[in-house]
């Protein structure tokens, strides 16, 4: 257990540059702008249990540190990756003793999504009765990873990736700050290099500041400490896209891909396709989504879409990357440009609802299997009208069970 209060650390640049006051925080105006709830809670030292949710490097831990430096409550920090139940018991015991002295305790849990259900359940009564005020930080969607009971007792604040402009502000601060930054080195940076680092950081301040710190260590201190675009590109390299296959970004990207095809926007569809391929997504996973979209959203409006999608699936298994991306592009564009109909989807959804509502209704006897000895004795197949025996190969006949004979599931 670590009890902190304005504690300084000899740490890497990204940690040294963390804001200590609200006025130092860059970005997150959606939750920290004038009149916003979180800002009021911090300014008035009336923080209640909250969960900070957002991608890495967007300021979740920084906000917790700001609260730690401004609150009159105790501030206790643990990391869910290595904290045990005994650690939590120690915190709770400490908090109970402090309550007796009239002082509150804030418990900050970094990476709270890594706590299992039992660990989260243990905290619940102490959050509920006010023994501790919980601040959780997570990169994962809390609605999937945090117990609903804890969620219902917490306010969720979503932090967004920092803008390139925000990142550039932080770069300037890091280079110019003499106290905790690199100001004593008299470093400078070209605008295009700064923009490049900001862009390649994908909204993650830590990536940008780590790049600047790496530059400070590799540049010759006996010469000009100047970062050009070439140096920035060499330091940052081709940074991988933020695309963890188990994270929100994975699901958000595939969702955008599907919705772009459904929305008949081939440009957006192929853009999200390219993002997934470059990020290393399984091409068969992509192909399956195209097949589903071809049936669910194009359907009977253009039955060839399913044929194209299925052929693409088969082809990418034979061909593989990099050429498979062309096949997937063809299929995605075809599905995006095709006329749309979700009649098949709606029909089976309505039929499924009716089945769940009514159960296994008796099938009319004339529709039942009559290809076995004794079937006629059971009246199976008696009275069935064979459509090909009639003009136009059609005859009006009831096929649905009697109880729902007038139901309409499919609508053109």
Contacts of 411 (CB under 8 A, 6+ apart): 343, 346, 347
Q: How much is the pLDDT for 2?
A: 45
Predicted confidence (pLDDT) per residue in 28-51, tens digit: 999 998 989 999 999 998 899 999
Residue 297, pLDDT > 80, answer yes
Where residue 135 falls among pLDDT bands split at 50, 70, 90?
A: very high
Residue 7, pLDDT > 50, answer no
248-337 CATH fold: Zinc Finger, Delta Prime; domain 3 (1.20.272)
Mean pLDDT of 277-300: 90
Average pLDDT value for the chain: 86
Predicted confidence (pLDDT) per residue in 8-20, tens digit: 445 789 888 888 8
Predicted confidence (pLDDT) per residue in 304-336, tens digit: 999 999 999 999 988 888 899 999 999 999 999
Residue 99, pLDDT > 60, answer yes
Q: How much is the pLDDT for 10?
A: 56
Tell me how far apart the alpha carbons of residues 383 and 406 are, in angstroms, rounded to a whole number: 20
Q: How much is the pLDDT for 4?
A: 45
Predicted confidence (pLDDT) per residue in 239-259, tens digit: 445 555 555 667 788 889 999
Whether the Cβ atoms of residue 319 and residue 311 lie closer than 8 Å to each other:
no
Tell me how far apart the alpha carbons of residues 266 and 254 are, in angstroms, rounded to a whole number: 14
Break the chain into its structural domains and give their ranges: 2-158, 164-236, 248-337, 350-404
| Maximum C-alpha span of the chain | 103
Token readout for 53 is 């949710």
Predicted confidence (pLDDT) per residue in 142-198, tens digit: 888 888 889 989 999 999 989 999 999 999 999 998 888 898 888 899 998 998 898
Q: How much is the pLDDT for 9?
A: 42
Mean pLDDT of 87-99: 90
Residue 6, pLDDT > 70, answer no
2-158 CATH fold: Rossmann fold (3.40.50)
164-236 CATH fold: Helicase, Ruva Protein; domain 3 (1.10.8)
Q: Tell me how crowded residue 412 is: count the other CB atoms within 10 A of its CB.
A: 5
Q: How far is CA 254 from the centre of its chain?
A: 11
Whether the Cβ atoms of residue 272 and residue 253 lie closer than 8 Å to each other:
yes
Tell me how far apart the alpha carbons of residues 88 and 291 are, in angstroms, rounded to a whole number: 48
Contacts of 354 (CB under 8 A, 6+ apart): 404, 407, 409
Q: How much is the pLDDT for 202?
A: 79
Contacts of 10 (CB under 8 A, 6+ apart): none
On the question of a common fold for 2-158 and 164-236, the answer reads: no
Whether the Cβ atoms of residue 42 and residue 66 lie closer than 8 Å to each other:
yes
What is the DSSP track for 126-189? HHHTTS-EEEEEESS-HHHHS-HHHHHTSEEEEPPPPPHHHHHHHHHHHHH-SSSSSGGGT-EE
Q: How much is the pLDDT for 377?
A: 65
Helices (H), 28-107: 29-32, 37-43, 60-70, 85-100
């Amino acid at each position: 257990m670590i009890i902190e209060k304005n504690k300084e650390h000899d740490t890497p640049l990204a940690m040294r540059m963390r804001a200590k006051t609200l006025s130092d925080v860059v970005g997150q105006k959606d939750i920290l702008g004038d009149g916003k709830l979180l800002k009021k809670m911090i300014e008035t030292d009336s923080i209640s249990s909250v969960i900070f949710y957002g991608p890495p490097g967007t300021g979740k831990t920084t906000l917790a540190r700001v609260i730690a430096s401004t609150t009159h409550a105790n501030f206790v920090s643990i990391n869910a990756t290595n904290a045990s139940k005994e650690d939590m018991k120690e915190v709770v015991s400490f908090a109970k003793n402090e309550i007796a002295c009239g002082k509150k305790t804030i418990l900050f849990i970094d990476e709270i999504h890594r706590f299992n259900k039992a660990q989260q359940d243990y905290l619940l009564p102490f959050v509920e009765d006010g023994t501790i005020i919980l601040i959780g930080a997570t990169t994962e969607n809390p609605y999937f990873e945090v117990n609903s009971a804890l969620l219902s007792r917490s306010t969720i604040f979503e932090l967004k990736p920092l803008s390139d402009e925000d990142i550039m502000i932080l770069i300037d601060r890091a280079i110019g700050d003499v106290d905790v930054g690199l100001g004593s080195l008299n470093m400078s940076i070209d605008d295009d290099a700064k923009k490049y680092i900001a862009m390649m950081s994908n909204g993650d301040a830590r990536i940008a500041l780590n790049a600047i710190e790496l530059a400070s260590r590799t540049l010759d201190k006996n010469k000009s400490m100047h970062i050009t675009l070439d140096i920035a590109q060499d330091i940052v390299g081709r940074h991988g896209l933020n695309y963890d296959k188990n994270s929100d970004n994975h699901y958000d990207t595939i969702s955008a891909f599907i919705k772009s095809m459904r929305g008949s926007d081939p440009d957006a569809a192929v853009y999200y396709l390219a993002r997934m391929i470059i990020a290393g997504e399984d091409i068969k996973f992509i192909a399956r989504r195209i097949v589903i979209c071809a049936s669910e959203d194009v359907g009977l409006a253009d039955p060839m879409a399913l044929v194209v999608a299925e052929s693409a699936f088969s082809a990418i298994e034979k061909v593989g990357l990099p050429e498979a991306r062309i096949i997937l592009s063809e299929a995605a564009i075809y599905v995006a440009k095709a006329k749309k109909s979700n009649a098949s989807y709606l029909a089976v959804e309505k039929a499924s609802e009716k089945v769940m509502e009514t159960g296994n209704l008796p099938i009319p006897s004339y529709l039942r299997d009559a290809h076995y000895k004794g079937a006629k004795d059971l009246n199976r197949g008696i009275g069935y009208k064979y459509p090909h025996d009639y003009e136009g190969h059609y005859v009006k006949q009831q096929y649905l069970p009697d109880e729902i004979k007038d139901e309409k599931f499919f609508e053109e």
